[in-house]
Amino acid sequence: MDLFEMSQIPLEIAMKKMKLDPGVAAIIEHPERTLEVSIPVKMDNGTVQIFTGYRSQNSTILGPAKGGIRYHQNVSMDEVKTLGFWMTCKCAVAGLPYGGAKGGIVVDPAKLSQRELEILTRGFIDKIAPIIGEKMDVPAPDVNTNAQIMAWMMDEFSKIKGEYTPGFITGKAICMGGSLGRTSATGRGVMTSVVEALRTKGIKPEDATCAVQGFGNVGSWSAKLIHDAGLKIVALSDVGGGIYCEEGLDPYKVAEYAAKHKGLIAGYPGTKAVTNEKVLEADVTVLVPAALELQITQNNASKIKAKFIVEGANGPTTPDADVILEKNGVMVVPDILANGGGVTVSYFEWVQNLERYFWTEEDVIEKQHAFMVKAFKNVYETSQKYNVSMRVAAYIVALNALAEPMKLRGML
């Protein structure tokens, strides 16, 4: 089963529970538009290499398409189609005036020089420029792309349009129109989801423990902010393995250690070395999978001891695992809700760019908190109303948000 097939299972369950016109799901299951481009790059050795790029615009029903651009050797059209579909649902759940999109280039950026990377980036924007823009499709960073790459993209698009257009892309550096609070935004949304999930069962944060799989941007900020919220972090992991400490870990100090040790947390003083699998199976209140997709499967779901799983990564839990977890009474806060903090603050950046008026970090954090709490409450109440999992409830919320505009716009 691939990621797209996975995503359709809770969607179909949601449709049956709602008794909704099947046309709603059919429309968002198929992207409105896809584009495949070839980008020639003159390499440092004088040869010309052709790179393939993609952009999939899943939906513009609620507003401009929104979604990141990733640089990875395994990027494919099927992948960006699926991720664009998830972005449509994520924006609808968050209550944002956006549709969904995703894009990428088939490349290992580590093998390119800075000059080659810039030429490739600008060439990609040149090729997809006719279908993007601040009121059409708003890209953002994703896997292996960052504020520097966003800066090249914004500069190239501004040259094409003949005007300064910071609102066409988000995830920029502060000096180029980026938003304060963006770096920690996804992790902050995960933390808010953790606290709200605990609240549904009357559990105080200081009485809960947590394990976080993944210590990249999302995982590290999730761990830091969950720690700040009062939970005890007892296990962390990254690509090099995991660490465990029953007395608790300070993620800020772990991050400082990693910065001095090739970005890896292995060997952190006072901890026991454990595998990534053992981090997932840790005896904790809350588990945050914030690494890769397909981490919790039918093979290990029954070994999960956490009472709550809050998905920081996209698609970390398979449908088969969902069945087991639900049977065992585990509340899974799905990715399209839990990691929506990033796109929420991307929306704030877009608004600030359009208005040319910028908010304080305190304003951003306060507004993001309000959006995330409202979205969580909406999904939780929907799960109670229909007696379904939080994942199915999130899709019900998304479908409800999309159905009426579809009818009013004459699509149904």
One digit per residue, pLDDT tens: the chain, 412 residues? 677 788 788 988 998 898 888 889 889 989 999 999 999 999 999 999 999 999 999 999 999 999 999 999 999 999 999 899 999 999 999 999 999 999 999 999 999 999 999 999 999 999 999 999 999 999 999 989 999 999 999 999 999 999 999 999 999 999 999 999 999 999 999 999 999 999 999 999 999 999 999 999 999 999 999 999 999 999 999 989 999 999 999 999 999 999 999 889 999 999 999 999 999 999 999 999 999 888 999 999 999 999 999 999 988 999 999 999 999 999 999 999 999 999 999 999 999 999 999 999 999 999 999 999 999 999 999 999 999 999 999 999 999 999 999 999 999 8
User: What pLDDT, on the 0 to 100 scale, is given for residue 25?
Assistant: 87
- How far is residue 74's CA from residue 107's CA, in Å, rounded to a whole number? 8
Q: % helix / strand / coil in the chain, to the nearest 5?
A: 50, 20, 30
Q: What is the location of CATH 3.40.50.10860 in the chain?
A: 31-164
Stated pTM of the model = 0.93
Phi and psi torsions of 212, nearest 5°: -125, 120
CATH fold group of domain 31-164: Rossmann fold (3.40.50)
Q: What is the location of CATH 3.40.50.720 in the chain?
A: 185-338
- How far is residue 68's CA from residue 54's CA, in Å, rounded to a whole number? 11
Q: Are 64 and 136 in contact (CB under 8 A)?
A: yes
Distance of CA 343 to the CA centre of its chain: 8
- How far is residue 58's CA from residue 39's CA, in Å, rounded to a whole number? 23
Residue 67 three-state SS? strand
Alpha helices in 261-327 (DSSP H): 276-280, 319-327
User: What pLDDT, on the 0 to 100 scale, is given for residue 1?
Assistant: 63
What are the strands, taking DSSP E only, across 125-184?
Answer: 137-141
- How far is residue 77's CA from residue 89's CA, in Å, rounded to a whole number? 19
User: What pLDDT, on the 0 to 100 scale, is given for residue 315?
Assistant: 87
User: What pLDDT, on the 0 to 100 scale, is given for residue 21?
Assistant: 86
What CATH superfamily classification does 185-338 receive? Answer: NAD(P)-binding Rossmann-like Domain (3.40.50.720)
Q: Return the active site residues.
A: 102
User: What pLDDT, on the 0 to 100 scale, is given for residue 7?
Assistant: 79
Nearest alpha carbon to residue 290 among 219, 228, 378: 219
Phi and psi torsions of 138, nearest 5°: -115, 105
